[in-house]
Amino acid sequence: MRKLVLGLFVLAAGVTSAQAQDAAKGEQIFKQCLVCHSIGPGAKNKVGPVLNGLFGRKSGTIEGFNYSEANKNSGITWNEDVFRVYIKDPKAKIPGTKMIFAGVKNDQQISDLIAFIKQFKADGSK
């Protein structure tokens, strides 16, 4: 019985660590986003909007960015669950979005990317 309990504990610990978020790895993944988005102090809108303070923000609301009607009218408030679905296939989540991106398919990379983005408040500070 002890071996079974210990084995289940080790298995559970492995699952938890595999799903841990790593902001440093997320920063590396974010490099593919830099073509269109910026984040952090001094971030400015590019082809895509600034991603400072993304989580908790309503879609289509960054001042000075020209969003598609689909994005403005999506009714989305960004959180981890919504972002996970969106970043895998943006056009499937918001049909009509202007975002042209094949998506990030790997769940661990998405977790790491979320950890990186979540560091930044709306003013770009950590």
pLDDT in tens, 41-72: 999 999 999 999 999 999 999 999 999 999 99
- Contact between 94 and 22 (Cβ < 8 Å): no
Nearest to 18 by CA among 98, 115, 120, 109: 109
Largest CA distance in the chain: 62
Phi, psi at 95, each rounded to 5°: -55, 130
Fold held by 22-118: Cytochrome Bc1 Complex; Chain D, domain 2 (1.10.760)
Nearest to 47 by CA among 101, 94, 90, 84: 101
Q: How is the chain split into domains, by residue range? A: 22-118
pLDDT in the model for residue 19: 66
pLDDT in the model for residue 29: 98
Q: What is the pTM of this model?
A: 0.83
